[in-house]
A and B are shown apart, each in its own frame.
Chain A
Amino acid sequence: MGSEIIVIPAIFLGMPWIIMHYLTKWKQAPKITQEDENLLDEMYNLARRLEERMITVERIVAADHPDFKPGLAAPQPDWQQSVPARAGYSPDRRN
């Protein structure tokens, strides 16, 4: 009996409220034009291809020169930071 006091307002007030909240958020969200979309698409694909090439090049260089460690000056991604004492072992040199 007592639970109706909570459930009915939750359904009739809470749910429409949530829906309206997200609808207004969606309407306020910035929209991009078709040209922007094409530009972003090209940039995204370019970045992806460049990254793939970069990985290939890094692999080739690492194979030719064992003393080369990619990303020495770079901030390391989390999975590398978790490896203690990188001196002897680096996961990105595995084949």
Chain B
Amino acid sequence: MHSSRTRFYLDKQNAKFKGVCAGIADYTGIEVMWVRIATFLLLITGVGLPWVPIAYVLIAWMAPKKPIDLYVSEADAKFWQGVRSNPKRSATEVRSKFRDVDRRLADIETFYTSRNTSLAHEIDSLR
């Protein structure tokens, strides 16, 4: 049984402090540097002053850590990022992959069936 890949995790592997920014970056697929810069800007300009630190502490306290074996590969992580932002599109991608395989298999099938008929024709002509 896998742990869910559509929920938010603290990314301790790429963390600078608590892994909240790295977690947001991992969840959304935004570059972690931009998340940190945005957080920093919100802090120093005072725009998000009471809320950003409160949210940060709450997230750091409540969100679970990301399991190390959550994704097998980089492509896997990318795919699930896509699922989180738009599951419908990901499902369509998977379907198009199946269709692609189906088409290529049909090509091979056609190749073999047509080839065998021409071979049979040649054998017939030899008689």
**Hey, which bits of chain A sit against chain B, CB under 8 A?**
11-12, 15-16, 19, 29-32, 34, 36-38, 40-41, 43-44, 47-48, 50-51, 54, 57-58, 61, 65, 68, 70-74
**Hey, which bits of chain B sit against chain A, CB under 8 A?**
2, 4-6, 41-42, 45, 47-48, 79, 83, 85-88, 90-91, 94, 97-98, 100-101, 103-108, 110-111, 115
- The contact of A51 among B6, B79, B97, B107, by CB within 8 Å, is B97
Shortest CB-to-CB span from A24 to chain B, Å, is: 14
Shortest CB-to-CB span from B112 to chain A, Å, is: 8
Shortest CB-to-CB span from B64 to chain A, Å, is: 15
- Do B87 and A40 touch (CB < 8 A)? yes
A11-B47, A54-B104, A58-B108 given; name 11 further pairs at CB < 8 Å: A11-B41, A31-B6, A31-B87, A32-B83, A32-B87, A37-B6, A43-B94, A44-B90, A47-B98, A48-B97, A68-B108
For the A-B complex, the count of residue pairs with Cβ-Cβ distances under 8 Å equals 81
- Do A44 and B111 touch (CB < 8 A)? no
Q: How far is it, in angstroms, between the C-alpha of A72 and the C-alpha of B85 when the chains are bound?
A: 35
Q: How far is it, in angstroms, between the C-alpha of A43 and the C-alpha of B97 when the chains are bound?
A: 10
Shortest CB-to-CB span from B119 to chain A, Å, is: 11
**Chain A interface SS verdict (over half):** helix
Q: How far is it, in angstroms, between the C-alpha of A74 and the C-alpha of B45 when the chains are bound?
A: 55
- Do B42 and A15 touch (CB < 8 A)? yes
Shortest CB-to-CB span from B125 to chain A, Å, is: 19
Residue of A nearest to B76 (CB): A44
- Do B94 and A30 touch (CB < 8 A)? no
- Do A73 and B47 touch (CB < 8 A)? no
- The contact of A32 among B2, B6, B101, B106, by CB within 8 Å, is B6
- Do B94 and A47 touch (CB < 8 A)? yes
Report 26 cross-chain contacts, Cβ distance below 8 Å, ordered by A residue: A12-B47, A16-B47, A29-B85, A29-B86, A31-B6, A32-B83, A34-B4, A36-B87, A37-B5, A37-B83, A40-B83, A40-B87, A40-B90, A40-B91, A43-B91, A43-B98, A44-B90, A47-B101, A50-B98, A51-B97, A51-B100, A54-B105, A65-B111, A68-B108, A72-B107, A73-B106
